[in-house]
């Protein structure tokens, strides 16, 4: 079911880690950002759009993780975009014949095994690096690319509507997940990305994370502060004391805690490597 979060901006929430697909109404149809996860959910979204009489005229993937790269034939053949780095990463990920089998095997370990349509996975066109806005006939959608969760990760700012689509940043259920392979300094890059988002926060009334609840402007600042505190705690070896890591958090917190432990270990390995004599 589509839910309006601002004028002409609607969200379709998946049961899988509260994933949010975002629909932006344009003149001749909609822009669809990160379409969703399971086949039946994408099907439901396609039905909702048909009822609205709105074809999909453009798509966008915020970053090159499988759960943001899906598509379904019923959504039509609109161009699907991502940043140039996102598209390059996807090309590399899918460059060998076993790539989709690997994604399917990974999905076998989740509660949505066998329910995710992988046929049209990752067929996106990279927008040249200097592209400021998504090319489409609708309200301007600014691309705010940064180096944080994944290579070529982009948040999208729909200025006219006061909406920030955050990709896998600023979630109230997931801790910051650093890109530990793609950048030289994942901690500082993540903090820089948060500053970039904070820089546009003044014009934002609604924040839509890739996973989690839609928030208002006060939530936006709270989430920036919370993510920054978490990343600094990772850097400084302190206890993040993050509510997303405790049993009072939403279902799935065990997995989030597991991710947290993994990040601590990887960062420790990195600093050992950096300190080792060459
Ligand atoms: Zn995600």
pLDDT digits (tens, 9 = 90+) for 236-247: 988 899 989 876
How far is the centre of ligand 1, averaged over its atoms, from the C-alpha of 225 (Å)?
20
Q: How many CA atoms lie within 13 A of 68 on its CB side?
A: 28
How far is the centre of ligand 1, averaged over its atoms, from the C-alpha of 30 (Å)?
22
Closest CA to 149 of 189, 206, 121: 189
How far is the centre of ligand 1, averaged over its atoms, from the C-alpha of 211 (Å)?
6
How far is the centre of ligand 1, averaged over its atoms, from the C-alpha of 127 (Å)?
21
The model carries a pTM of 0.94
Looking at the predicted structure, is the pLDDT value of residue 60 above 90? Answer: yes
How far is the centre of ligand 1, averaged over its atoms, from the C-alpha of 92 (Å)?
19
How far is the centre of ligand 1, averaged over its atoms, from the C-alpha of 64 (Å)?
9
Residue 251 neighbours by CB distance under 10 Å: 9
How far is the centre of ligand 1, averaged over its atoms, from the C-alpha of 68 (Å)?
6
How far is the centre of ligand 1, averaged over its atoms, from the C-alpha of 276 (Å)?
34
Name the percent of the chain lying above pLDDT 70. Answer: 96
Residue 64 burial (10 A CB sphere; 0-12, 13-18, 19+): buried
How far is the centre of ligand 1, averaged over its atoms, from the C-alpha of 44 (Å)?
20
CA-based torsion, 179, 182, 186, 188: positive or negative: negative
How far is the centre of ligand 1, averaged over its atoms, from the C-alpha of 268 (Å)?
24
Name the percent of the chain lying above pLDDT 90. Answer: 79
**Joined tokens for residue 51:** 């009822």
pLDDT digits (tens, 9 = 90+) for 245-268: 876 666 667 788 889 999 999 998
pLDDT digits (tens, 9 = 90+) for 195-205: 999 999 999 99
Query: Residue 16 pairs with which residues in a beta bridge?
Result: none
Average pLDDT over residues 7-16: 93
């Amino acid at each position: 079911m589509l839910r309006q979060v601002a004028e002409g901006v609607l969200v379709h929430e998946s049961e899988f880690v509260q994933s949010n697909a975002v629909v932006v109404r344009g003149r001749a149809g909609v822009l669809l950002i990160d379409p969703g996860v399971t086949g039946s959910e994408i099907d439901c979204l396609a039905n909702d759009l048909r009822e609205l009489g709105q074809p999909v005229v453009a798509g966008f993937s915020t970053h090159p993780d499988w759960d943001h790269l899906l598509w379904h034939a019923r959504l039509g053949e609109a161009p699907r975009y991502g940043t140039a780095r996102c598209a390059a990463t996807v090309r590399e990920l899918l460059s060998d014949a076993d790539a989709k089998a690997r994604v399917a095997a990974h999905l076998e370990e989740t509660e949505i095994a066998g329910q995710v349509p992988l046929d049209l996975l990752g067929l996106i066109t990279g927008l040249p690096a200097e592209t400021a806005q998504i090319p489409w006939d609708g309200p301007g959608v600014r691309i705010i690319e940064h180096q944080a969760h994944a290579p070529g990760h982009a948040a999208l700012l729909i200025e006219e509507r006061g909406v920030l689509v955050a990709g896998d940043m600023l979630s109230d259920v997931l801790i910051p997940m650093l890109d530990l392979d793609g950048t030289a300094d994942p901690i500082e890059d993540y903090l820089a990305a948060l500053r970039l988002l904070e820089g546009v926060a003044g014009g934002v009334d609604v924040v839509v994370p890739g996973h989690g609840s839609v928030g208002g402007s006060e939530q936006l600042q709270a989430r920036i502060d919370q993510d920054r505190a978490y990343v600094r705690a990772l850097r400084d070896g302190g206890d993040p004391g993050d509510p997303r890591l405790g049993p009072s958090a939403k279902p799935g917190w065990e997995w989030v805690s597991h991710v947290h432990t993994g990040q601590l270990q990887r960062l420790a390995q990195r600093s050992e490597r950096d300190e080792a004599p060459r």
